[in-house]
Amino acid sequence: MQTNSWVPIFPDQASTFAWQVDYLYYYLLVVSLVFSIPLLVAIFYFAVRYREKEKYATPEEIHGSIVLETAWSIIPFIVSMTIFLGGAYVYYNQYRMPDEGTEIYVVGKQWMWKIQHEGGQREINELHVPVDTNIKLTLTTEDALHSFYIPAFRTKVDAVPGRYTYMWFNATKTGKYHLFCAEYCGLNHSGMVGYVNVMSKEDYEAWLGGNVSGQTPVEQGRDLFENKLGCASCHAGGPQQRGAKLEGIFGHEVKLTGGGTVVADEAYIRESILNPGAKVVEGYQPIMPTFKGQVTEEQLLALVAYIKSLSGVTASSGSSSTGTSGSTPAASAAAPPAAGNSAAAATANRQSTNPKAPAANSNR
């Protein structure tokens, strides 16, 4: 368990790796002080001790010292290697995604954070998460470069135009923590702030239940795929299939026309929607039109979530460990009427957050 940071100006330590970042930082501070203080003292001491007492004095010559030279090689080596190993350890912990986790999608936009949960709940500039649970964020942006920064969790990752980036954390304390944009992104960059609400698992379940609104990412993706964009006319199974098979591909290698392979990951799916000619699957013609400019980043995320679900990779694969059973695509697909009713009944207590979503969308 972590406690409040004992340095007053530091934010809370509220994630599993926050203390590691802090200790690395303290270590760097100590190393800096251990080198700089003796250096300053020596400057003044030597200035006095060896001041000129006699004009044109000849100093005594020194012919090297094995002990001294070994010491000033080995000590800095140890110091720099401990900094490197400590930094590598902390970095690995932060940027290697855990296998299991609750997935959340984040889209940056001038000047707000749009967040969607795997159960379909949407938020703006607020992120509700359960305590003691791995949370995996997939981030992108509709416009400029932004950076998703939660100081209390000691983690930050850029949201980069045209690609997906990932962040994970496991919050250790319930509470409300600052969320910042940490990359200058235009006029209202400084206003692109929000809060992360870390809730007990029970409170989080209640929050999810009171906020089911609209489609889950997978449902939204299926709707786009089958109806709005007409992807299914070529990609659905059957004898007339003209587009590449999408079932079971996610995470696997795909053979390409003209040789070579590619792993079908989120980035590849995204690229294939926006620039279908770039990497055509072997055995298919490059006949697919681009959807660039026709789909928003949120719709792209939904399409990716749906195509992942065709491979049995549901966004909620990690939710068994969190107990968010209601958020599996199958469950929510079967549940819309009931969910809609209970959501309507619960509208009263969510009006503070929900109406923001359509309002924000209409700003676009």
The residues of the shown chain that bind ligand CUA, judged by CB under 6 A, are 108, 111, 146, 181, 183-185, 189, 192
**Angle at alpha carbon of residue 238, lines to 237 and 242, rounded to 5°:** 75
Please report, in angstroms and rounded to a whole number, the separation of the first and last CA atoms in the chain.
43
Q: Looking at beta carbons only, is 190 or 351 nearer to ligand CUA?
A: 190
Min dist CB 177 to ligand CUA, Å, is 18
Residue spans of alpha helices (H) in 185-317: 201-209, 217-223, 232-235, 266-274, 297-309
Instruction: Give the C-alpha distances (Å, rounded to integers) separating 196 from 101, 271, 292.
Output: 17, 31, 32
Min dist CB 160 to ligand CUA, Å, is 12
Q: Which candidate, 364, 353, 359, places its Cα nearest to that of 122?
A: 353
Q: Looking at beta carbons only, is 192 or 357 nearer to ligand CUA?
A: 192
Instruction: Give the C-alpha distances (Å, rounded to integers) separating 349 from 115, 164, 214.
Output: 19, 33, 17
Q: Looking at beta carbons only, is 101 or 108 nearer to ligand CUA?
A: 108
Q: Side chain identity at 348, as an amino acid letter? A: A
* Residue 19, token pair as written in the block: 């203390």
Q: Looking at beta carbons only, is 138 or 170 nearer to ligand CUA?
A: 138
Min dist CB 180 to ligand CUA, Å, is 8
Q: Which candidate, 295, 296, 304, 305, places its Cα nearest to that of 329?
A: 305
CA 340/CA 76 separation, integer angstroms:
64
Q: Looking at beta carbons only, is 189 or 308 nearer to ligand CUA?
A: 189
Q: Which residues contact 37 (CB under 8 A, 6 or more apart)?
A: none
Min dist CB 166 to ligand CUA, Å, is 18
Q: Looking at beta carbons only, is 186 or 260 nearer to ligand CUA?
A: 186
Min dist CB 190 to ligand CUA, Å, is 8
Q: Looking at beta carbons only, is 108 or 329 nearer to ligand CUA?
A: 108
Min dist CB 142 to ligand CUA, Å, is 11
Min dist CB 14 to ligand CUA, Å, is 22
